[in-house]
Amino acid sequence: MKKLLTSLTIVLSIMTINAYAEVTIKSQSYQKVIKKKKAKWVKAGKVVPGSTILYINTLKNKGAETAQNLAIVNAIPAHMEYKKGSAKCKSKCNITYSVDGGKTFNKPKKLFVKDKRTKKVRRAKASEYTTIKWVIAKLKGGKKTTVEYKAKLQ
C-alpha cells in the first residue's frame, strides 16, 4: 500500500509540473538607421540626441496552461520622451500610462498634471508620461506575443 501511495504521489507531481504557465520576457531596443535611402530598425548601439528608439518586449509562455492578466510595466528611461500613439501590443491588451513614476495608471484622457508655469491642472501630454503598462488578457501555452513603444532621446 505504501509503495502504491508513493507511486501515485510521483505521478500526480509529474502531472502538476506540466500544468502551469511559465512566462518569460525578453527586452530589446532598436534604432532607425537609413542606408541607401531605406529606413531599417537595427539593435540600438550608440544613440545620439534626436534618435527614436523602438522598445520591444517579447513574452513567451513556455508552460502548458494559459497565462491570464499579464501585466508588463515599462518605465520610460531618463532623457527619453514617449512618442504619442506608439505603444502597441500584438495580442488583445489594455494599455494605460502613468505621469507619476508608475504609482497610478490611466488612459490618456484621464491623466492630469499641474502645469509648472501656470500652476493649473491640465491634461498630460504624451511627452510627460513616465511609465507604460500593458495588461494582456490571455497568452496560451506555447505561444508568444509582443508589446512595444517608441521614445525619442532628448
CATH code, domain with 32: 2.60.40.1170
146 CB-contact burial (10 Å; exposed 0-12 / middle 13-18 / buried 19+): middle
At 52 the pLDDT is 94
> 84 phi and psi, to 5 degrees?
-50, 130
Mean pLDDT by 10 residues, the chain (154 residues): 36 44 93 86 89 96 93 95 97 96 97 93 96 96 96 94
Is 13 within the bounds of a domain?
no
At 81 the pLDDT is 97
Count of domains for the chain: 1
At 3 the pLDDT is 40
At 32 the pLDDT is 87
96, 69 in Cβ contact below 8 A? no
89, 147 in Cβ contact below 8 A? yes
At 19 the pLDDT is 55
Is 126 within the bounds of a domain?
yes
Is 8 within the bounds of a domain?
no
